[in-house]
Amino acid sequence: MLFSSITFLYVFLPFTILLYFFVPQKGRNFVLLVMSLLFYAWGEPVYVLLMLAQIVISYVLLWFVDRFRGKRAAGIFYILSVLLPFAALFYFKYFQFFMDVVFGIKTKTIALPIGISFYTFQIVSYCVDVYRGRVARQKNLVTYAAYVTLFPQLVAGPIVRYSEIERTLTKGIDFSAFHENFERGVVRFAVGLGKKVLIANVIGEFVAEVAALGTRDLVLSWAYAVAVSLQIYFDFSGYSDMAIGLGGILGFSFPENFRYPFISGSVTEFWRRWHITLGAWFRDYVYIPMGGNRVCMPRWILNILVVWLFTGLWHGAGWNFITWGLLFAALLVVEKGAGRVFAGRKSTAGSIDGKRFSKKNLTGAAAGILKHGYVVFVILVSFLIFHNDSLADAFSDIQSLFAQGSRIAQDAGSVERAVFAYVLRNRIVILCIGLIGSTPLPFWLWTKLRERLLTCRIGDRAVHVLMGLMVLGLMVLCTAYLIDGSFNPFLYFRF
């Protein structure tokens, strides 16, 4: 079931909220579990059994871990609790690719369970944290199952750790801040829905139109690259906003997943702003256990390569995803490696990290423009690799950015040029909206307006009225688009 569907918006969600708050606190986790299973079974009626089996198995194995704590058997059960979810993930997501690449054996296509990458990482993080004593084992199976299956973030993240929502699951909603959190949740959900339906879907239509042309000119090639990146960003960040908003409505506080990644001044900063919970998961459960940056340079480079190889594979079993991950690994090694080298050299001014080193050589506004231009170019190229199903198609799209390759209409006639101009002109407004919406400018303007309104005598009431009108307007527009349109994909369902 999609968040951006009429069924979810006007049937499933209202009924779930009413039922959730109608039952006593002791029954709310059960309501969450049942409704989350219904939400998942709507699109995966068979694989819901796989998810339930993984929940029960990990619950039992952790019971044995606690039962034999301090003994060798506890370590064995812990290893099983981590390996079995990954084994299921490997079979459904990577087995076919592995057999084809390693042994050259073509196997029958295996359907990928929706959201398996997300809930596998949540189960594994919980098992690791319980074994290491970071959180207490949840003895109530319903509560544990509600954590894993929690429908707002079940199929698309953010990746939520048990410790981040343990209090609400075990002690209930904090009603002292409930009204404020509920209101923020509604606004956040509406904004996320607008990003998904009104921006990502419309830009996605432009992407599909350009791809269907077969050929394009240089300007349209760059517009296409920008559109691909914006579609992926608004599609995924919109879903994350909706998940965080739904969490707030139900009394949970989910971690942020995006913080305006396109304003980054380096690739390192980009990955502190993009899919934050995934990066934090790999940092805490892979990178740091391998030694992080507290090792010699060759081992540190290996750590980076391993983490980003896994990051690429997490998104999909394909050479495009592997290349995408290793591309960022190479760029991060260069950026962070320069910082490590210069940090180790003493000067009269003290240690110099990568950021200060770049400012020393290219000062002022020029340095900022060059750094940002470099990051934007890397993002555009990387998401062309990410977006395509094959490296050959990705390479053709990248070539077209330089007026090369089969994508470029070298001898375009007047009719073709007119078509290219028409397609771009027809979508230029939504591309501009997307570019502006990917920066902090809209939020900054709203903050300034809110501050100005709050200085008035009825400012607080005016703010609430404006927020209500905004939510109502977004819901009406999104509903109209969903009823009238048929283009409503969700890119991250394949992960």
Burial status of residue 349 (CB atoms within 10 A of its CB: 0-12, 13-18, 19 or more): exposed
**Res. 341 pLDDT band, cuts 50 70 90:** low
Instruction: Give the model's pLDDT for residue 360.
Output: 53
- Tens digits of residue pLDDT in 315-324: 988 899 999 9
What is the mean pLDDT of the segment spanning 50-65? 96
CB 214 within 8 A of CB 400: no
**What is the C-alpha to C-alpha distance for residues 157 and 235, in angstroms, rounded to an integer?**
12
What is the mean pLDDT of the segment spanning 100-106? 82
Instruction: Give the model's pLDDT for residue 351.
Output: 36
Average pLDDT, the chain: 89
**What is the C-alpha to C-alpha distance for residues 260 and 453, in angstroms, rounded to an integer?**
26
Q: Is the pLDDT of residue 404 over 60?
A: yes
Window from 82-86, 188-192, 293-297 with minimum mean pLDDT? 293-297
Instruction: Give the model's pLDDT for residue 131.
Output: 95
**What is the C-alpha to C-alpha distance for residues 199 and 231, in angstroms, rounded to an integer?**
8
275, 315, 387, 464: the catalytic one is 315
CB 29 within 8 A of CB 251: no
Instruction: Give the model's pLDDT for residue 333.
Output: 92
Q: Is the pLDDT of residue 359 over 60?
A: no
User: What dihedral angle (degrees, nearest 10) is formed by the CA atoms of 96, 100, 105, 107?
Assistant: 20
Instruction: Give the model's pLDDT for residue 340.
Output: 59
What is the mean pLDDT of the segment spanning 289-298? 90
Instruction: Give the model's pLDDT for residue 494.
Output: 56
For tokens 């209090």, name the residue.
167
Instruction: Give the model's pLDDT for residue 302.
Output: 94
Q: Is the pLDDT of residue 426 over 60?
A: yes
What is the mean pLDDT of the segment spanning 459-488? 86
Window from 115-129, 237-251, 367-381, 436-450 with minimum mean pLDDT? 367-381
What is the mean pLDDT of the segment spanning 373-377? 90
- pTM score > 0.85 for this model? yes
Instruction: Give the model's pLDDT for residue 355.
Output: 46
**Res. 206 pLDDT band, cuts 50 70 90:** very high
Instruction: Give the model's pLDDT for residue 346.
Output: 47
Window from 207-211, 252-256, 347-351, 485-489 with minimum mean pLDDT? 347-351
**What is the C-alpha to C-alpha distance for residues 125 and 161, in angstroms, rounded to an integer?**
7
Instruction: Give the model's pLDDT for residue 44.
Output: 79
Task: Report which of residues 455 and 33 the model is more confident about.
Answer: 33
**Res. 489 pLDDT band, cuts 50 70 90:** low
Percent of the chain with pLDDT strictly greater than 90: 68
Alpha-carbon distance values, 110 to 54, 122, 376, 388 (Å): 18, 23, 36, 20
Is 315 tagged catalytic? Answer: yes
First-to-final CA distance of the chain: 15
Task: Report which of residues 454 and 279 the model is more confident about.
Answer: 279
The residues, any chain, with a CB within 8 Å of residue 41's CB and separated by 6 or more, are 48
Instruction: Give the model's pLDDT for residue 458.
Output: 80
Q: Is the pLDDT of residue 353 over 70?
A: no
- Tens digits of residue pLDDT in 432-469: 999 999 999 999 999 998 888 888 878 788 888 899 99
